[in-house]
Amino acid sequence: MLFNSIEFLFAFLPIAYLVFWGLPNAKARYVWLTITGYVFYGWWDPRFVLLMAFSTLVSYVAGLGILRSPVGSRARTMYLAVPITVDLALLGFFKYTNFALDTVRSVSTAAGAPIPVPHLDIVLPIGISFYTFHTISYMVDAYRGVITPTRNLWEFSTYVSLFSQLVAGPIVRFRQIEEDLEEIGTSSRTRWLTRGISFFCVGLVEKVLMADTLAALVDPSFANWRALSTSGAWLAVLGYTFQLLFDFSGYSTMAVGLGYLFGIRIPQNFNSPYKALNPSDFWERWHSSLSSCLRDYLYIPLGGNRGGTWNTYRNLMLTMLFGGLWHGASWTFVFWGFYHGLLLCLYRVFRTSWDPLPRGVQQFLMFGSAMVGWVFFRATSFTEALHILRIMVVPTSGSWFSDSNLGLVMLVMLIAAWWSMRGPNAFEMRHEWTPTRMVGLAAAFGAGLALIVTARPSPFLYFQF
């Protein structure tokens, strides 16, 4: 179910909200949030709720096993290793089986000894990468003693299936919302009501008015990438650079707002990443919930920046390669991860030369570096990515975006550039309800609704991951 759909806005959300606040205690609210999470997730395909339920039960039992096992015992280690293996096996089967088979077929064909492996008809469950990260982070934190595993199955199932951040993040760790979950039976409906509505409206503007408007330029341009001119390629890549930010940031902002409506504080996921001054700064700002997970559960266990310069570079590259592969089962995603790993390593090498540069120069160079990476992120093949990058550098004639709404798209492009590189993000805005702000929110919400009613709601780009 989409946040920007009529069904969600006028049926699911009002019912979920009114029933939740009418329930008398924590257990009833846990059960209700679990039910709404499964309805929300099963709206696309009911079969896959069983997969999420299985992962939830396995992780819950593992948490109890870790809780009851002595530190350092073999049983405690098994309670961690076995369920993580199960979770990763499920993720690997659904997300990476065909990627592996296609790679074997391509490599064997290139080597002159083709292996006739099939391409399986596997449907990727939406959001499986996100809730798998939730369950794994829970078990690892329990094993490390960072959290005390909950004995309440309904509380844990609420954490895993919380519909506000279930299918596209942020990746919320149990300890980040544990306090709010524990107090859910006595939380106040009005405490964060205005913040919740305000955050949701800001996110709706980001998605519907910004990202979806830019999609009218980006999607047809990339669909006809062979015919693009140099100017057309620049517009398409710039458009996608802003579209991806406002699409994903819009989802995360709406998720934060929905969390507030139900008394749960979901952490920030985007902190104006195009204001970043260097690659390290960028990854502290872009999809920060994933960045922090990769840092804490992969980079640091690999050794982090301990063990010398070359080990640090190795750990950075392995972490970013995994981050690229997590985003999608494609070699273009793997290369995108490699590219950002390389940027991080180069920044460490040349930091003493980079940091003294004027802030505006640093921001401009980092934005351009990120934009080059997004070409590989968006392209469906290396041929497409390299062609687009080539014509961006070599003047080439060809098609250029032509549409009756060209003026609107270009206006939104300019607003997107200012907002992302100079303006405030949702967490930097004031969310108190002054009369002026109420009028502005009502106007933005009304414009978003008008577009939703008159057009088919578009899925969020990160649903595919």
Q: Which of 246, 267, 65, 62 is nearest to 172 (CA)?
A: 267
Backbone angles phi, psi at 399, to 5 degrees: -80, 160
Q: How far apart are CA 223 and CA 57, in angstroms?
A: 42
Considering the candidates 327, 340, 387, 431, report the single residue annotated as catalytic: 327
Q: How far apart are CA 124 and CA 48, in angstroms?
A: 10
Residue 463's contacts (CB-CB under 8 Å, 6 or more residues apart) are 126, 127, 167, 168
- DSSP code at position 278: S
For residue 399, the cross-strand partners are 228
Burial group, residue 349, by CB count within 10 angstroms (0-12, 13-18, 19+): exposed
User: Cβ(179)–Cβ(26) under 8 Å?
Assistant: no
Q: Which of 423, 430, 412 is nearest to 212 (CA)?
A: 412
Residue 455 exposure: Cα atoms within 13 Å on the Cβ side = 15
Other Cβ atoms within 10 Å of 150 Cβ, number: 21
For the chain, first and last CA: distance in Å?
A: 16
The one-letter code for the residue type at 90 is L
Q: Which tokens belong to 283?
A: 């990854």
| Known catalytic membership, residue 119 | no
Q: Which tokens belong to 172?
A: 């919320």
Q: Which of 33, 429, 405 is nearest to 216 (CA)?
A: 405
Residue showing tokens 């620049």: 234
Q: How far apart are CA 441 and CA 227, in angstroms?
A: 41
User: Cβ(71)–Cβ(96) under 8 Å?
Assistant: no
Positive/negative CA dihedral, 82, 325, 413, 408 = negative
User: Cβ(327)–Cβ(465) under 8 Å?
Assistant: yes
Task: Specify the 3-state DSSP secondary structure of 93.
Answer: helix
User: Cβ(246)–Cβ(425) under 8 Å?
Assistant: no
For residue 228, the cross-strand partners are 399
Query: Active-site residues: which are they?
Result: 327
